[in-house]
Amino acid sequence: MINNPYLRLFTAFAIFFIIAACLLVPPESFAESQPLNGVPRVLPPDVSAQSAIVIEQVTGKILYEKNGRQKVYPASTTKIVTALLAIESGSLDRVFPVPGSAVGVEGSSIYLAAGEKISLRDLVYGLMLRSGNDAAKAISCLIDRSTEAFVQKMNERVRSMGAMDTHFVNPSGLFDENHYTTAYDMAIIAREAMKNHEFKAIAGAKSWVADREEGKYRHFYNKNKVVFEYSGGTGIKIGYTKRSGRTLVASSERNGMELICVVMNAPNWFNDSYKLMDYAFECFEMSKIIEGQRVLKAIPVNSGNKDHVFVGPKDPIMLPLRKGVTEKLEVVYRLPTNVRAPVRRWQEAGTLELYVSGEYLCSHPLYYLEDIDGVAM
């Protein structure tokens, strides 16, 4: 028992302030502040999107996912595939007359006229920056014998990427019950498209001036605010129909890490994307797993001036790993048991597969690191 009245008063105040301080700390702040291997834990943000995903561009590793395999309607993010096929045709600088069927197409437009001469490059810029449905229709007719044949190629192309839950019925993304995808598939598609340097330049352009007659719609400004607003934003495509809602595929790069973010049926599409990419950049970083040109294996050589040849990666192998967390990495080599001379440096030898915590992540090519000449027997 405390007899000193001053001490009793001091003790009462101290207890009051301790209780008040505890009541003022919200549960969320306490949860977020818990260290994980010395690094504060950051919780994923809440987003308005029906489905969403964030992947790292180089490896395809999933960094965030919400209903990523759920069926959704892509709207104009469809045009990523339309643009990629146009670019892969190798005819960007060819000038075509606009077919009549491309004039007056429903929805957003670059106001094409029947018979107008325009380059495929200008059509692709109009497709990606202004989301022209007429440009999509024109591209489909110019690249293939019909829109139906072009759409078949779209479906074949995305299946070759591994997007198995996607099906298109038109080149623009106009709503149709049989025109669907998933956030996961759209991330796969966007990752493949962004590997194409021409596509990446077009998808990330802030504006483009088309080579069209005076009086025609020539100045194309990108509708995708990611390239204007987000620090490190690099592309790629927005979409909207009443049935699909707002859809956005966004990309960005900071500190050597490239992200693909997909939000589908997202009322707050841009804010959702910015929060998810901020989260990924805050929680993950690219880590060097293996140095470039490091000797990893020696393969026996038959009929050579050396009895073995060294194998390794040409460039450093980088992985997106969670900051402050030690993840279990497993390496599996896919290499021949022996090789016959001659062998040349930088000739591909096989692959290295990487698994994180038992789950397949990616593979990297391995190369012979030296020349081995053959010898007469």
For 219-246, what is the mean pLDDT?
97
CB 251 within 8 A of CB 259: yes
pLDDT of residue 4: 56
pLDDT of residue 41: 67
Residue 104 clears pLDDT 70, i.e. is over it: yes
Number of domains forming the structure of the chain: 3
Q: Which domain covers residue 17, as residue numbers?
A: 5-33
pLDDT of residue 347: 96
Whole-prediction pTM: 0.85
131 is catalytic: yes
Residue 24 clears pLDDT 80, i.e. is over it: no
For 30-43, what is the mean pLDDT?
50
Residue 27 clears pLDDT 60, i.e. is over it: no
Do residues 132 and 172 both lie within one domain?
Answer: yes
Catalytic hit among 76, 109, 251, 273: 76
Query: Which of these, 196, 316, 354, 258, lies nearest to 63 by C-alpha position?
Result: 258
Residue 304 three-state SS: strand
Identify which has the larger pLDDT, 375 or 125.
Answer: 125
What's the CATH number where 260 sits? 3.40.710.10
- CB-based contacts of 180: which residues, under 8 Å, 6+ apart? 71, 72, 73, 74, 165, 166, 167
pLDDT of residue 356: 84
Do residues 113 and 80 both lie within one domain?
Answer: yes
Residue 60 clears pLDDT 50, i.e. is over it: yes
Catalytic hit among 51, 61, 66, 79: 79
What's the CATH number where 314 sits? 2.60.410.10
Do residues 220 and 310 both lie within one domain?
Answer: no
Do residues 16 and 86 both lie within one domain?
Answer: no
As given in the structure block, the two tokens for residue 11 are: 């003790």
Do residues 278 and 302 both lie within one domain?
Answer: no
Which segments of the chain does DSSP mark as H helices, in order? 5-24, 27-32, 79-88, 120-129, 133-143, 147-161, 183-193, 197-203, 226-229, 269-283
Share of the chain above pLDDT 90, in %: 81
Note whether residue 42 is domain-resident: no
Last residue of a domain, one of 283, 300, 335: 283
For 68-89, what is the mean pLDDT?
98
CB 212 within 8 A of CB 233: no
29 is catalytic: no
For 275-281, what is the mean pLDDT?
97
251 is catalytic: no
Catalytic hit among 131, 140, 172, 273: 131
